[in-house]
């Protein structure tokens, strides 16, 4: 597996990371812990050095799984986790945002214990907190870096203005946001800023929450614990309309003797050398398929052809329900 540097930070990771959320949370029933540990270790054996988790995934349990799985590999892997959510007093669900400095310090101490590490390699603000100035949040992370509890600072779903303000206080190593052939908005909104400032980009849902695998269609039934069940873009009618994109990528994949997922990941890797996608999976076969995307090289002409094909398709449905959409920073 080739390595990539996240911007100008000096943080080097495998070209593809592993998003661990779905092993415990958000995409159906949680994977049995022993199986999840085995999958993460299989990723390490295949060259993956970059693993993504968060306090809220579970909550808590995903960090525990990642911590146990990666305990034998300390020093040779990079672990990213996130702060920024807490239970909502109204219903107890983890939908309230909190990036106050005292809260960040508490979360970091707890995450370190669950992850069984002394320093968090990359700490993201999970969502921008409109009630806490980003300068205060960045300052708190800066203090944690100086204390040796954190190495690098990241943001998630932050807009260009917020990124700039945070970067003045504590250099931002990476932005994690959704980006794929299924959601190309970051090309206009944040990527020019990232390139200017030397910040890496870590796309989550690089396979369009599974849609770009080609295995989801209008007849797919989502489990009640699967987040996609409430995502407008994944309604039955929208899935039927959006299949046009999958069909376009599939035709391209057939020409390259690859899968649609591999083409989708190779496209991201071809866009910029500071982009590191983090596809997630619960299956070893899918892990191996995804890693094959890192070995697939697309030419500039290939990239243009894919983008022309995707731009010609009007995708249907918002990528988040309204309750989540309001948490996106602009």
Taking only the tens place, the pLDDT of each residue in 270-311 is: 999 999 999 999 999 999 999 999 999 999 999 999 999 999
- The verdict on whether omega for the bond into residue 13 sits within 30 degrees of 0, i.e. cis, is no
**DSSP state at residue 3:** E
Whether 179 is a known active-site residue: answer: no
φ/ψ (deg, to 5) at 297: -100, 125
Longest CA–CA span in the chain (Å) reads 54
CATH fourth-level superfamily of 3-210+271-296: NADP-dependent oxidoreductase domain (3.20.20.100)
| Strand ranges (E), 33-143 | 50-52, 78-83, 85-86, 96-97, 120-125
CA distance 110 to 107: 5
Q: pTM (2 decimals)? A: 0.97
The residue length of the chain stands at 330
| 39 CB-near residues (< 8 Å, 6+ apart) | 23, 31, 281, 282, 283, 284, 287
| 137 CB-near residues (< 8 Å, 6+ apart) | 99, 101, 104, 125, 129, 166
Q: Which residues of the chain have pLDDT under 70?
A: none
Catalytic residue from among 57, 124, 179, 320: 57
């Amino acid at each position: 597996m080739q390595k990539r540097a996240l911007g100008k930070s000096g943080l080097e990771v495998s070209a593809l990371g592993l998003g661990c959320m779905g092993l415990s949370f958000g995409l159906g029933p949680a994977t049995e812990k022993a199986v999840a540990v085995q999958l993460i270790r299989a990723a390490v054996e295949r060259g993956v050095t970059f693993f993504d988790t968060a306090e809220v995934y579970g909550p808590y349990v995903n960090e525990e799984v990642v911590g146990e799985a990666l305990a034998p590999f300390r020093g040779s892997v990079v672990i990213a986790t996130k702060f920024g959510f807490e239970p909502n007093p109204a219903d107890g669900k983890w939908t309230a945002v909190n990036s106050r400095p005292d809260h960040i310090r508490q979360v970091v101490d707890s995450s370190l214990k669950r992850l069984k590490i002394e320093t968090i390699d990359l700490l993201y603000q999970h969502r921008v907190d409109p009630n806490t100035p980003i300068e205060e949040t960045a300052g708190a992370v800066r203090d944690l870096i100086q204390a040796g509890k954190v190495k690098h600072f990241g943001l998630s779903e932050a807009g260009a203005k917020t990124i700039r303000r945070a970067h003045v206080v504590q250099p931002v190593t990476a932005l994690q946001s959704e980006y794929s052939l299924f959601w190309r908005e970051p090309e206009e909104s944040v990527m020019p800023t990232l390139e200017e400032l030397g910040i890496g980009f870590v796309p989550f849902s690089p396979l369009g929450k599974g849609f770009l695998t080609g295995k989801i269609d209008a007849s797919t039934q989502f489990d009640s614990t699967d987040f996609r069940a409430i995502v407008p873009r994944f309604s039955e009618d929208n899935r039927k309309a959006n299949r046009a994109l999958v069909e376009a990528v599939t035709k391209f994949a057939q020409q390259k003797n690859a899968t649609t997922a591999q083409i989708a990941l190779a496209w991201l890797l071809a866009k910029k050398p500071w982009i590191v996608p983090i596809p997630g999976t619960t299956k070893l076969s899918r892990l191996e398929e995804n890693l094959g995307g890192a070995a697939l090289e697309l030419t500039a002409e290939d990239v243009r052809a894919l983008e022309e094909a995707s731009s010609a398709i009007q995708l249907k449905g918002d990528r988040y329900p309204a309750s989540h959409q309001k948490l996106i920073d602009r």
